[in-house]
Structure 1
Amino acid sequence: MPLIDLSGERFHVELAGPQDAPPLVLAHSLGCTLGMWDEVAPLLAQSRRVIRYDARGHGESVAPDQVYAMGDLGRDVLALMDQLGIAHADFCGLSLGGMVGQWLALNAPQRLTRLVLANTTAHAGPARFWDQRIKAVRRDGVEPIADSMIDSWFTPDFRARAPERVASVRAMVAGTQPAGYMGTSCAMRDMDFRAGLDRIRTQTLVLVSDADRSTPPAWGEAIAAAIPGARLERLPGGHLSAVEQPEAFVAAVARFLG
C-alpha cells in the first residue's frame, strides 16, 4: 500500500494487474477509500493495470482543512498519472468519482481513453443541503451521519446478507477526517456540469442502479442522454454498485472496455 508524493502532498495508491496492460483508474465515492473497490479490482486486474487511490480528504491521503473544488480532485488524478508515467488511461468513477470523471472529460479529454460514470450525477442538489451537512460535520464529526449514509447506499437485502462488508464500508465513512469530508462536500456543492455534457467526446458508459436512493437512475439517464453517443446500462441493487453487485459491475465495464 504505497504512499506517493504529488507536489509535496501524500496520496495512498494501490496498483494491480500486468504492468504492460491498458491502465484503468478507479475513483471512489464520498466517504469511502480505495477499499470500496476490493471486490472488483482483482477481477478487472486480470486484463488491466488497475490504479486505485484514496481521494484527497479520504483514507490515508492528504486531507487539508480547506474548501476543495472538483478541479482540485481532477488535477490530483492527472498528477498521479504523470507520476506513474501514464499518458492516457481508461477512467471509472463511482458517485464522487464519476463527478471527477466528468471534470476530466471536460478539462483534460486528451488524458482519457474511455470513461465509466457509475451511480453519479452532473449536479449534486441544492447548496443548502451541503451547507447543512458541512455544518453538522464541523460540529459533530462524520460518525453521527455514517448510519444514514449506509442506509441510503445499500438495499435492505444486501445489508442483511453481507453485514460484515456493510460494516467495513461504514468504518470507512466514520473514519473519514472531518476536514476531508467537508472540503469534498464543498466540491460537490459547487459542481454543475449539466451545461457542458454535450461537449464531452470521450467514449462513455453510464451505469445506474434500480434501487439507488443517493443518485436515482434518472440522474444517470440524464447524463447518458446529454453526452453524445454515451451508452447506458442498468444494474440491480443500490448506490455502491461495485460493492453490492460486483460481478454485474465488472461484466458491464469489461464489455465496454473490450
Structure 2
Amino acid sequence: MKRSAAAAPAPPVATRELTAVSADGSRLHVEVHGPEGAPAVVLAHGWTCSTHFWAAQIRDLSTDHRVIAYDQRGHGRTPAVAKTGHSTGALADDLEAVLAIALEPGEKAVLAGHSMGGMTLMAAADRPGFAEHAAAALLCSTGSSRLVAESLVVPMRPGRVRTRITRSILGSRAPLGPVTPISKRILRYGTMGPGAAPDRIAECARIVHACPRPTRVAWARVLAELDLAAGVREMRLPTAVIAGTADRLTPIVHARALAAELPECVGLVELAGMGHMTPVEAPEAVTAEIRKLVDAHLKPDARPERDRAEQDHAKQDQAKQEENA
C-alpha cells in the first residue's frame, strides 16, 4: 500500500549539529546522527537538495553508524555565498572542512555523494583531507563531464540544438514557486523514474522547491561546464557506482563510464526503471550499497583488505615515479 504524501516521515533529528568553516570562510551546516564510536558515514547531497534528501539513509544507518550529513553551500541551512564562491574547488574545500570537524584526526569513513555530491567527492579526491579520512566511496547518480550534452531531459537527437535548449532549461532563472500537481509532474519527468511513488515525488518536490533560486542558477552554470575526469583518476580507493537506468538528468552512460575509469571500482549497480533521485526512489538499494562498503572497508575484520589496497596504491605511485624519472 502506498503512503500518502502527508504520511511521509519527518527527517530525523540530529544527535549533534556542527558548523564547519571552509577555506574561504563560508560556514556549513553539519548534522551528526547515531552513536558515538560507531563506523562513520559521510553523505553529500546533490544540486537543489539538502540533508533532508538523505532522510531514509539516515534513519536506517544511524541505528548502528555515525552518520554525518551536511548542506552544500547555499542549500538547506547553509548560507548562500557570493558569485565567486561557486566552483568545484569550493565544493572540495567544503568537504575537507566537514571531514575535519566531524571526524577525529586519521579517522576513516565511507563517503557517499549523490549527483553534485558525487562530483564533490571527485573534486576532492586529490586533497589531503580526503586521503586522510576516506576509506571507500559511493558515487550515486552522477557524472564527471558532458552533463548537458548527455542529458536526456529534452527529447531530441543529440547535438548543439538539444544542448543549447537543455542548458537554458537547467539554468533557468524562473522561480519554481509552490509545489503543485503540475510542478510535481514536471519534476517526475525530469528527475524520477516513470513508476516513482506519489509520496516520493512529493518528497523530492518539497526539497527541490525549497532551494533558493540564486543558488539553483549559480550551480547550474558550474555543472554545465563540469570536467572532473582528472578527479575520477585520483579516486584511488574502493569506489562503488549506483544509478537508475531511467535517469534523464545524468543518464546511465555516465555511471558506466565512471565504472570503467575508476582506478578501483568495486561494483556498478544499475537500478532498472529508476530515475535520478535514487536515494529517495530506491532508498533500500542505496543504503545497502553504503552498508556493504562499511562492512568491507571500515569494520575491524576489513583491515587486511584495506592494507592490501594501500600497498597496491603505493606500488602504483612508485611505478609512476619511476616512469617520470
| TM-score interval (norm. to shorter) | 0.7 to 0.9
Shift in alpha-carbon separation, 1:28–1:150, aligned structure 2, 3 A: farther
What's the offset of the Cα at 1:129? 6.0
Match of 1:125 in 2: 148
Q: Which of residues 90, 106, 112 in structure 1 aligns to 2:126?
A: 106
> What is the TM-score when the length of structure 1 is the normalising length?
0.87
Mapped partners of 2:29, 2:43: distance in 1: 13
Contact 1:90 1:113 in 2 (8 A): yes
> What is the TM-score when the length of structure 2 is the normalising length?
0.70
Q: For structure 1, which segment, 19-28 or 197-206, has the greater mean C-alpha deviation from structure 2 after superposition?
A: 197-206
Mapped partners of 1:99, 1:204: distance in 2: 13
Match of 2:35 in 1: 18
Please tell me the residue identity of whatever aligns with 1:121: G
Contact 1:44 1:50 in 2 (8 A): yes
What's the offset of the Cα at 1:224? 0.9
Match of 1:248 in 2: 285
Match of 2:19 in 1: 4
Aligned residues: 253
Match of 2:111 in 1: 91
What's the offset of the Cα at 1:77? 1.4
Any stretches of 5+ residues in structure 1 without a counterpart? none
Any stretches of 5+ residues in structure 2 without a counterpart? 1-13, 150-162, 296-325
Please tell me the residue identity of whatever aligns with 1:80: V
Contact 1:211 1:238 in 2 (8 A): yes
What's the offset of the Cα at 1:190? 2.9
Q: Quick check: 1:54 aligned with 2:71?
A: yes
Mapped partners of 1:129, 1:201: distance in 2: 36
Mapped partners of 2:65, 2:39: distance in 1: 5
Match of 2:275 in 1: 238
Who wins on radius of gyration, i.e. which is larger?
2
Mapped partners of 1:4, 1:200: distance in 2: 27
Mapped partners of 2:89, 2:183: distance in 1: 26
CA RMSD of aligned residues (A): 2.4
Shift in alpha-carbon separation, 1:17–1:129, aligned structure 2, 3 A: farther
Q: Quick check: 1:141 aligned with 2:175?
A: yes
Q: For structure 1, which segment, 70-79 or 107-116, has the greater mean C-alpha deviation from structure 2 after superposition?
A: 107-116
